[in-house]
Amino acid sequence: MSDLDFLKLIYELGGSLHNVSNGDIAKKAHLSNASVTERTKSISKNTDLLSYTKYYGSKLTNKGIMIINPYIQQQRLIEVWLVNDLDFSLKSAHKESDILTNKINKQFIDRLNDRLNYPKFCPHGNIIPNNAKMITDNQITLADNLVSNQKYTVKSFAEDSYIFSILETIDVKLQDTVQLLSVAEDSIIIFNLRTGTKQLLPKTLAESIRVEKKSSAVVD
């Protein structure tokens, strides 16, 4: 994995907003914790793109974000095109856009951006850099000790092929209104107002669904 792809991975894990643990990076990159620690220390020491703090993890510097933004914009624009115009699933679009990114010139991306009317969000609900103002606040997820009598709106999904595979079998969509019912060690149960059903979500999925607080209400 190139340094660029490694930094993109950290970005996708929220590394433009907060420190990302070596464990989370290792899990997503399918690498050992030791190799990730060595890699983050090396990039932090030899470049000014990444900041590494022992026990806390890594965070992209402002320069690192500026370097990565065009590549994230490119990938997310391709995802919009594949999902909206070519009917790709989230999982397939993410995979294909990852392959195409860095292999298409700037003129193509500029024309695609214009054709798509400069979308602000990708199909997973994440901001497209340079098309919209970047989010600067940490977003909460369904695994973040939510209040049980509070409604939340699903705003975005973490960009991960495994997560998209799970979403193909569990009916949770962007803009769904959900409410936390109960929490177990490795799963949570929510009530989805769109489907009118209770849904059991693995903890790994809950950690990857970002939500926003809505008006308070109690589910009967």
Residue 193 reports pLDDT greater than 60: yes
pLDDT value at residue 49: 95
Give the whole-number percent of the chain exceeding pLDDT 70. Answer: 95
Q: Which domains does the chain have, with CATH numbers?
A: 3-60 (1.10.10.10), 70-136 (1.10.10.10), 140-216 (2.30.30.90)
CA distance 7 to 139: 20
Each residue's pLDDT tens digit, 69-124: 999 999 999 999 999 999 999 999 999 998 898 788 889 999 999 999 999 999 99
Checking DSSP bridges between strand 187-192 and strand 57-60, what pairing results, if any? unpaired
Residue 199 reports pLDDT greater than 90: yes
**Look-up of token digits 């973040």:** 144
String of b and e for 82-103 (b: at least 16 CB within 10 Å)?
bbeeeebebbbbbbbbbebbee
- Comparing CA positions, the residue from 44, 43, 51, 107 lying closest to residue 74 is 107
Ranges of beta strands (E only) in the chain are 50-53, 57-60, 140-141, 150-157, 177-183, 187-192, 197-202, 209-216
The one-letter code for the residue type at 124 is: H
